[in-house]
Structure 1
Amino acid sequence: MAAVQKPQPVSWAEKVRVSHSDNRCSLEQLSHKPAGSVLTIPKDMVLADVDTWKRSMIGFFVSYKMPYHAVLSIANRVWKAHGLEKVTVLDNGFMVFRFISEESMGEVLARGPWLFGGKPILLQKWQPGFQFDRNKIRTLPVWARLHGLPLPQ
């Protein structure tokens, strides 16, 4: 009886090798600058990405860090139908929620405040110049329950 040969394992290099010329990419060669030089990003490159940020909102928990998979799961469950496109969680605890349009993002913001896993998540529309730094935040919304407060007639 002939021995059955096991297939040789495929190397990672073989798995990711580009086999079609239409899949190949080329990078533009950058000119060499001395160490310490300032890199200038052309304004048109910066402006090309502004549309993505205009339909994004920034979120964070004040004193809690929720795992990425939990944020992703909750956000998709409650906002996917409202045009949620992508969720990104940054190392510093800030989250970026990108929507298909500014209008759909605005609708989600208007329906707040929101709780994720019973924890209040603070949300705001992205603004040019926004800094992902908790030390730059000067005001926070506060929720208050006023039991027995008579409503105006």
Structure 2
Amino acid sequence: MVAARSATVAYTKEVPTPPCTTSMPTHPASTVETQQQADSSQTHTGLFIGNVPLYTSASLNTDNKFAAAFDNSSRKTLSFVPPTTQNGKIIVRPSFELVHEGSRQWVATVVGYFLGKKSYFHHLNEYVCSVWPLVKEVIATTNGFFFFKFKRVAAMEEVIEGGPWLFQGKPIVLQRWKPELALRKHKHTQVPIWIKLRHLSVEFWTTKGLSIVASGIRRPLYPDAITKACTRLNFARVCYVGYILQTA
């Protein structure tokens, strides 16, 4: 047993450990911390990766010139507004004046979403501009909502009151934009719908006549503008309420 120990010691002395093996740490994280603290030019940043503190040095600061170029850029239009802290949580408190100012560009905006599969933006944009000529801009979101910005508030109100609206046969739910509007799609079981009454004699194209004939289906609401003006006699188009959607 003694001879075995002597042989082991001799072997270790005869074959020196390579420098890279000697510097290989058993725990890399602790070695990084030791090496950083050993450099007197390094300053602790107050940040940690796990339990390892991060340090900065003069050599690293020279590399921040790229970031400093962005900080001093003429494109920098935002400023830092210190938030408040309450119960350990960071809270931002926008003022009423800020909300009022930011709402100005949205006061004539209608927000809508389709029931079922949404329409393609390009087709919807073309159709909306032809039906609602006072629409200034249409903006789509990735979760199926559309923002219709009108040139005037009166035009927006006319569209809301003139509903329900269908695009390519699909009903769209519209609501006036307001601050803190939650973009949520509600589950609808009943929606207004337009029904065509074909082969209707022209003597019934009056308010009373349409009411009597349309009531044979269910409670009617009103005809569309073309039916009311009697400028298209192929069919009368009447809006109904209470159409039950088929749900899975």
With the length of structure 1 as denominator, give the TM-score of the two structures.
Answer: 0.65
Change in Cα spacing, 1:50 to 1:28, as seen in structure 2 (3 Å) is closer
| Structure 2 Cα separation of the partners of residues 126 and 29 of structure 1 | 28
Structure 2 contact 113–185 (Cα < 8 Å) conserved:
no
| Structure-to-structure mapping, 1:141-152, within 5 angstroms | 141-143=191-193, 145=195, 150=212
Task: Provide Cα deviations, 1:36-71, integer angstroms capped at 9, x if missing partner.
Answer: 522232322211122333211111111112122222
SS of the aligned residue for 1:134 comes to coil
The ranges of structure 1 where at least 4 consecutive aligned residues each deviate by more than 4 angstroms after the TM superposition are: 31-36, 137-140, 144-149
Which of 75, 80, 84 is equivalent to 1:30?
80
With the length of structure 2 as denominator, give the TM-score of the two structures.
Answer: 0.43
Change in Cα spacing, 1:100 to 1:123, as seen in structure 2 (3 Å) is same
Change in Cα spacing, 1:102 to 1:133, as seen in structure 2 (3 Å) is same
Structure with greater proportional helix content: 2
Say yes or no: does 1:84 pair with 2:84.
no
Relative contact order higher in (CA < 8 Å, ≥ 6 apart):
1
Aligned sequence identity (%): 25
Comparing 114-123 with 140-149, greater Cα deviation is found at 140-149
Task: Provide Cα deviations, 1:110-135, integer angstroms capped at 9, x if missing partner.
Answer: 22222212222221222444210114
| Structure 2 Cα separation of the partners of residues 132 and 109 of structure 1 | 18
Larger Rg: 2
CA positional deviation for 1:100: 1.4
Structure with greater proportional strand content: 2
Which of 151, 155, 159 is equivalent to 1:108?
159
SS of the aligned residue for 1:49 comes to helix
